[in-house]
Structure 1
Amino acid sequence: MKALVYDGPGKIDWRDHPDPVLQRDTDILMRVTKTTICGSDTHIIKGGVPDTPQGTVLGHEGVGVVQEVGSAVTNVVPGDRILAACVSACGYCRFCTAGQYGQCLNGGWALGHLIDGVQAEYARIPFAQNSVYKIPDELSDEQVLFLTDILATGYEVGVLRGAVAPGDTVAIVGAGPVGLSTTLTARLFSPANIVVIDLVDSRRKKALELGATHAVSPEEAHEVVNGLTDGLGADVTIEAAGFPKPFELAAALVRPGGHIANIGVHEEPATLHLETLWAKQITLTTGIPSGLTIPQLMKAIASGTLDPTSMISHRFDLGDMVMGYETFKNAAETDALKVVLSS
């Protein structure tokens, strides 16, 4: 088969790669129909995720059709349309039994990180009983593709862990795909204000299209948030960029007793200013998604409440994967958000 292979920092190649095979009775094989590129993939390519082995097929966001199932898999059969969650969950370790699939001791974020992923014609999906979901006939592959990661991440790690509530002022720092997914799903809780903060004008405009009440530059953030909250600060701040300055801005914007939810993938240290935060009684959360809300979000898409396809900026054939990466990497020039690749 053809696949996008990581050959070490700065090196990727779309080339022939061995077909996947079932390795355990809990595996399935999936023919990939659509996949997409994530910021985490670019972190790997830059060398920011050093435990990714050279020769790994990248990608952890994919939908497709079941080709073959292991003997222990009972939730899907060959021919089913499925989405594969970005995290693989064994279902029996101490973290899985607590619903923390992202911390699974036997899986977690494995696809496209520690094992071959889904930016390929075919993929092996481990622990399929807990890690894949059937796609209803009324939904297209594109409608559910982002449930595999960014929509679930924005909702679970940002909105739910940030404890967004009706009437809140929510500040989201970073308007890339994950920040925009957070904007979309935060609306489900009817906050009074959603303030999206980003350096790029086109992304601020997109945030307003997706439901933000305000979209501002970092330099404007304090004035806008303070003006909306009588100087108290945001009830919830969500860091969705993965760099020190955005994290420190999220911490500076939160009110006493508020929540800071970190989503961004960080490659370098950020300063936690405890000299100003120690007495503010804030809650700080981090993590990656479990995917357990995927069925819930799928119903919201089916009802028309959520439209993730509004984040698609570019479409390519699967064989144009390298071009897709170039487009995604140069988002400042291409206005790329989510790049979808189809077989």
Structure 2
Amino acid sequence: MKRTMLAAVCHGSGQISLEERPIPQIQQPEDAIVKVTLSTICTSDLHILHGAVPRAVPHTVLGHEFVGEIVSVGSGVKHRKTGERVAANCITFCGDCWFCRQGFINNCAHGGWELGCRIDGCQAEYVRVPYADMGLTRIPDTVTDENALFLGDILSSGYFGAELAEIRPGDTVAVIGAGPVGLCAAMCAKLFGAGKIVLLDVDETRLQLGKQQGLATQIVNPAKEDASACIWALTNGRGADAVIEAAGGDGTFQLAWQIARPNAVVALVAMYEEAQSLPLHQMYGKNLIFKTGGVDAVHCDRLMELIACGRLNTDFLITHRAPLEEILEGYRVFANKLDGCIKWAVTPPVHHI
């Protein structure tokens, strides 16, 4: 193995560069080193670039959403082995602390959001994965890298949102945001038995994509029509049985509780860059339940099985693909939603790996 690799490094204040970094080595017995075969750019990476993630450490290799092949493991790794194809969990967790034992892995006493945030991430040729037994899921031979790419982040986030929403068979579920997480949330809401899925976004292209993929029974563009009126019309004036807020945009939090029926669950899985107001005096009597937080991606094995049997497919989210050498262009296109970009997949560099 050569000693250096190409990597995308965040320097803070919106600065990112492509540079040579040492190839990571095993540091703890529970570590694995993974050769990255496919990764992607996430909106959370943009939040780091914008300084909206206080826990982020400057001069860190970005990225937490990837698949690859294990090239070495520490002495404490029991369930993963060299040569396995694996998909990564976006959360680093030990599996043994009080929070992990309750299933709250995002609050692991020894982990949390680490990769690409506090320790070097996957937008590189190789990545060190702590607690590899917990954070890596084996990819079956019948599942492609593309099929598995979003397993441990946006697909898990969408599933988390649908799970928080307490969807019952036949419910009308409103999903705010037709970005990658919102589209995954709509897909998972269907798994939970939603009768109607209403997808809301101001981007008409993304709304049409959700409709074409069969993820929404109804699409609503709040920039062109009264979103609340549309929801009332679809629900005989009651409001949505559950709302999943996956946009984190200007006014989307307010829209979420406004279109929810009384006694509904409002699941907030968006990452906000600004404080949100909870106007209790305006919602008094609606008896709403709000659930929010970072994704607890504890269902990766289950989601991989659903992918393998064809119940879930997120391949359509990959609209752009280019080698690591072009990732700076990827950030420009992805951040500005140019050329219909939903997800930019990063392949290995042409001349380095």
What TM-score range do you get, normalising by the shorter chain? over 0.9
**Equivalent residue number for residue 200 of structure 2:** 197
Contact 1:244–1:270 (8 Å) recurs in 2: no
**Equivalent residue number for residue 168 of structure 2:** 165
Of residues 278, 283, 295 in structure 2, which corresponds to 1:289?
A: 295
Q: TM-score, normalised by structure 1?
A: 0.97
Aligned counterparts of 1:266 and 1:94: Cα–Cα separation in 2: 28
Contact 1:7–1:56 (8 Å) recurs in 2: yes
Aligned counterparts of 2:284 and 2:158: Cα–Cα separation in 1: 27
The residue type equivalent to 1:28 in the other structure is A
Residues 89-148 of structure 1: per-residue CA shift (max 9 Å, x gap): 111222111111111121111111111111110000001111111100110011011002
Aligned counterparts of 1:223 and 1:144: Cα–Cα separation in 2: 38
**Equivalent residue number for residue 11 of structure 1:** 15
Aligned counterparts of 1:124 and 1:181: Cα–Cα separation in 2: 27
Aligned counterparts of 1:335 and 1:273: Cα–Cα separation in 2: 36
Aligned counterparts of 2:98 and 2:302: Cα–Cα separation in 1: 24
Q: How much does 1:50 deviate? A: 3.2
Residues 1:257 and 2:263 aligned together = yes
Report matched runs for 1:145-164 at 5 Å. Answer: 145-156=149-160, 158-164=161-167
Aligned counterparts of 2:128 and 2:73: Cα–Cα separation in 1: 10
Q: How much does 1:277 deviate? A: 2.2
Residues 267-296 of structure 1: per-residue CA shift (max 9 Å, x gap): 111111211223222111111222221111
**Equivalent residue number for residue 252 of structure 2:** 246
Residues 1:75 and 2:90 aligned together = no
Q: How much does 1:51 deviate? A: 2.8
Report matched runs for 1:1-343 at 5 Å. Answer: 1-156=5-160, 158-210=161-213, 211-218=215-222, 219-331=225-337, 333-343=338-348
The residue type equivalent to 1:321 in the other structure is I
More deviation, 142-151/184-193: 184-193
Aligned counterparts of 2:292 and 2:178: Cα–Cα separation in 1: 18
Aligned counterparts of 2:333 and 2:86: Cα–Cα separation in 1: 27
Contact 2:87–2:136 (8 Å) recurs in 1: yes
Secondary structure of the residue that 1:324 maps to in structure 2? helix
The residue type equivalent to 2:343 in the other structure is K
Residues 158-196 of structure 1: per-residue CA shift (max 9 Å, x gap): 100011121111111111111011111111123121111
Aligned counterparts of 1:33 and 1:267: Cα–Cα separation in 2: 31
Aligned counterparts of 2:315 and 2:226: Cα–Cα separation in 1: 29
Residues 211-270 of structure 1: per-residue CA shift (max 9 Å, x gap): 201111124311111011111110001111113500110011111110000011011111
Aligned counterparts of 1:304 and 1:134: Cα–Cα separation in 2: 17
Contact 1:26–1:73 (8 Å) recurs in 2: yes
Aligned counterparts of 2:78 and 2:199: Cα–Cα separation in 1: 43
Secondary structure of the residue that 1:339 maps to in structure 2? strand
Contact 1:243–1:270 (8 Å) recurs in 2: no
The residue type equivalent to 2:144 in the other structure is S
Matched residues, number: 341
The residue type equivalent to 2:32 in the other structure is I
Aligned counterparts of 2:226 and 2:312: Cα–Cα separation in 1: 29
Contact 1:193–1:212 (8 Å) recurs in 2: yes
Secondary structure of the residue that 2:127 maps to in structure 1? strand
Secondary structure of the residue that 1:226 maps to in structure 2? helix
Aligned counterparts of 1:252 and 1:271: Cα–Cα separation in 2: 13
Aligned counterparts of 1:220 and 1:303: Cα–Cα separation in 2: 39
Q: How much does 1:200 deviate? A: 0.8
**Equivalent residue number for residue 351 of structure 2:** none
Aligned counterparts of 2:249 and 2:72: Cα–Cα separation in 1: 41
Aligned counterparts of 1:273 and 1:230: Cα–Cα separation in 2: 25
Pairwise CA RMSD of aligned residues?
1.1
Secondary structure of the residue that 2:22 maps to in structure 1? coil
Contact 2:269–2:295 (8 Å) recurs in 1: no
Q: Flag structure 1 segments of 5+ consecutive residues without an equivalent.
A: none
